[in-house]
Amino acid sequence: MRAIDGLRERLAELADLAGLSRLAAWDQEVMMPAGGTESRAHQLATLERHAHKLATGDEIGAWLEELESDASELNDLERDIVRIARRDWNRQRRVPAELVGRLARAASEGQLIWRNAREAADFAAFVPALARNVELAREYAACFPDAARPYDALLDDYDYGLRSERLEPLFARLADGLAPLIERAAERESAGLVVVPVPAQQAAVKATLARLGVNDEDWRLDVSAHPFSQSLAQHDLRITTRYGDDSGLESIVAALHEFGHGLYEHQIAPELERTNLAGGTSMSVHESQSKLWENHVARNPAFARVIAAALADAGFAITPQKLSAAVNEIRPSLIRVSADQLTYPLHIVLRFELETALIGGQLEVADLPGAWNDGMRRLLGVSVPDDGVGVLQDIHWAAGLFGYFPSYALGAVIAAQLWQHLEREIGAQDEALADGEVGAVRDWLREHVHRYGRRLDTEPLVERATGTPLAVEPFLDHALRALG
Which positions are catalytic? 258
Measured CA to CA, the distance from residue 51 to residue 16 in angstroms comes to 10
Measured CA to CA, the distance from residue 233 to residue 344 in angstroms comes to 30
Question: Which of 88, 236, 355, 387 touches a second copy (CB under 8 A)?
Answer: 236
**Residue 85 neighbours by CB under 8 Å, 6+ apart:** 7, 11, 60, 64, 276
Site string for a second copy, 42-71 (x = CB under 8 A): xx-xxx-xx---x-----------------
Measured CA to CA, the distance from residue 285 to residue 261 in angstroms comes to 10
For residue 365, give the DSSP letter: G
Question: Which of 2, 5, 16, 439 touches a second copy (CB under 8 A)?
Answer: 16
**Spatial contact of 111 and 138, defined as CB atoms under 8 Å apart:** no
Q: Does 430 bind a second copy (CB under 8 A)?
A: no
Question: Which of 6, 25, 27, 309 touches a second copy (CB under 8 A)?
Answer: 27
At closest approach, how far in Å is the CB of 75 from a second copy? 22
By C-beta, is 272 or 311 nearer to a second copy? 272
By C-beta, is 34 or 225 nearer to a second copy? 34
**For the chain, how long is the longest CA-to-CA vector?**
69
What residues numbered 174-233 form the site for a second copy, per CB under 8 A? 216-220, 232-233
By C-beta, is 140 or 219 nearer to a second copy? 219
By C-beta, is 17 or 434 nearer to a second copy? 17
At closest approach, how far in Å is the CB of 49 from a second copy? 8
**Spatial contact of 219 and 239, defined as CB atoms under 8 Å apart:** yes
Q: Does 424 bind a second copy (CB under 8 A)?
A: no
Q: Does 450 bind a second copy (CB under 8 A)?
A: no
Q: By C-alpha distance, which of 341, 247, 324, 332 is closest to 287?
A: 341
Strand partners, 231: 237
Of 29-37, 91-99, 424-432, 447-455, the segment contacting a second copy by CB under 8 A is 29-37
Of 27-35, 241-249, 319-327, 399-407, the segment contacting a second copy by CB under 8 A is 27-35
Length, in residues, of the chain: 484
**Spatial contact of 329 and 194, defined as CB atoms under 8 Å apart:** no
At closest approach, how far in Å is the CB of 450 from a second copy? 17
By C-beta, is 54 or 483 nearer to a second copy? 54
Alpha-carbon Rg for the chain in angstroms: 23
**Spatial contact of 266 and 229, defined as CB atoms under 8 Å apart:** no
By C-beta, is 274 or 450 nearer to a second copy? 274
Residue 195 neighbours by CB distance under 10 Å: 10
By C-beta, is 128 or 270 nearer to a second copy? 270
**CA dist 89 → 56, 146, 155, 413 (Å):** 6, 16, 17, 31
Question: Which of 29, 68, 122, 273 touches a second copy (CB under 8 A)?
Answer: 273
At closest approach, how far in Å is the CB of 181 from a second copy? 41
Of 31-39, 144-152, 160-168, 471-479, the segment contacting a second copy by CB under 8 A is 31-39
At closest approach, how far in Å is the CB of 11 from a second copy? 11
Of 33-41, 77-85, 93-101, 371-379, the segment contacting a second copy by CB under 8 A is 33-41
At closest approach, how far in Å is the CB of 315 from a second copy? 22
Q: Which long-range contacts (CB under 8 A, 24 or more apart) does 97-100 make?
A: 97/52, 99/136, 99/139, 99/140, 99/143, 100/52
By C-beta, is 41 or 198 nearer to a second copy? 41
Measured CA to CA, the distance from residue 82 to residue 88 in angstroms comes to 10
By C-beta, is 11 or 283 nearer to a second copy? 11
Question: Which of 6, 25, 29, 40 touches a second copy (CB under 8 A)?
Answer: 40
Measured CA to CA, the distance from residue 482 to residue 91 in angstroms comes to 41
At closest approach, how far in Å is the CB of 38 from a second copy? 8
Measured CA to CA, the distance from residue 344 to residue 135 in angstroms comes to 28
Could you please report the per-residue DSSP string of 247-312?
A: -TTHHHHHHHHHHHHHHHHHTS-GGGTTSTT-S-S-HHHHHHHHHIIIIIIIT-TTTHHHHHHHHH
Could you give the angle at the alpha carbon of 53 between the alpha carbons of 69 and 40, nearest 5°? 145
Question: Which of 34, 69, 146, 187 touches a second copy (CB under 8 A)?
Answer: 34
Q: Does 274 bind a second copy (CB under 8 A)?
A: yes
At closest approach, how far in Å is the CB of 236 from a second copy? 3
At closest approach, how far in Å is the CB of 86 from a second copy? 23
Applying CB under 8 A, the residues found at the interface with a second copy are: 12-13, 16-17, 19-20, 23-24, 27, 31-36, 38-40, 42-43, 45-47, 49-50, 54, 216-220, 232-237, 273-274
